[in-house]
Structure 1
Amino acid sequence: MKMLALLTLVAAVAADSQPRTSYGAAPAVRTVAAPLPLVRILESSSTSDDQGGYAFRFFSEDDIERAEEAADGTVAGSYSYISHEGVPVSVRYVADTLGFRAESDALPTPVPTEYPTTEVPSTETAPEVRTVQEGYSAPERQVLVLLTLVAAVAADSQPRTSYGAAPAVRTVAAPLPLVRILESTSTSNDQGGYAFRFLSEDDIQRQEEYPTPEVPSTEAAPEVRTVQEGYSAPERQVPAF
């Protein structure tokens, strides 16, 4: 009972000594848009080699096409789509030691070729920064004495717990080293068919194709033997006179 009375008194004093803070309006409710529908990939292919080169291409059912290839430090590719106005848009690009360059009828003319571009002065006003200063008053000595007393009583009233032996140490094996893929190819179509192949540096090779091509059978057809069975009625016995 004394313990409850002391805790109630300490909570009342602590609540009275807390600084008063004024908060603004509640934050606005964020509306999350519904997820976009899934778009199927109708065609796709990709290849790579152990020199860092690669090439890939895909075409989706919403008329988006993307292709890119890289070799000897040069990356070239293109992509195309249908704009919201229903106009086909196609962009071709290349990236090498001279930088990144893109060509398209949809890009502004002329395309900036000097970097960094000229800075455009901002017309927006910097947001106002408001500093809120809150005062803090240390609790009186009586509160500290009460807290010390409550902590002592609570520590004395805690049940004594006996623990067993320390748990066993679990040994985790070191992770296996990474293995590079030296060659890889993959293709797919909108009929559900696919094919892939890869070769790793530890001489592991895997390939798969669906649907599996039909292999002509080399087994001979089993011999069919026809058995003909006859039946003859027994002769009628003639009694002797």
Structure 2
Amino acid sequence: MYSYVLSQLVMLVLVAVALAEKRPSPTYGTPSYSDEIGIIRDDRVHPDAQGYYSFTVETEDGIHREESGGEGGSQQGTYSYTSPDGTPIHLTFVANEGGFQPHGDHLPVEPEFPHPIPQFVLDQIAKAAEEDRGTSREIPSGRYGPPPPYQ
């Protein structure tokens, strides 16, 4: 009985040691506990009275970000890094009353219309819009009768 308890205790200690040494396996973009990524550049201009600010940060692993902002909350900037498949990613953006507007070669784009719209169709759309603006909608009367005679 003593040897059984001792063997179970030894087994538990071995399992505890094995689990204590187990670290999460590093994946791309997620540094392990021992990885340190140095900051090469960190320039900051803190917001002034009008709200203007800017910063630039660059790290050893190739991440680069620049941003500035100002009055009214508008911001603009760039950032770049290398994706897991090795593709360089470069993005510029503007954020203002029109929302966040990113631009980059890696972003999807809306497909083009499958064929050009003929000019006569565009003319009809413009004419309908013009007529719609120029006429008022009449409310039908509660009286009904035969249609007026043709002239």
Q: Give the TM-score normalised by structure 1.
A: 0.31
Instruction: Select the structure with the greater relative contact order (CA < 8 A; seq sep ≥ 6).
Output: 1
**Larger Rg belongs to:** 1
Q: Give the TM-score normalised by structure 2.
A: 0.49
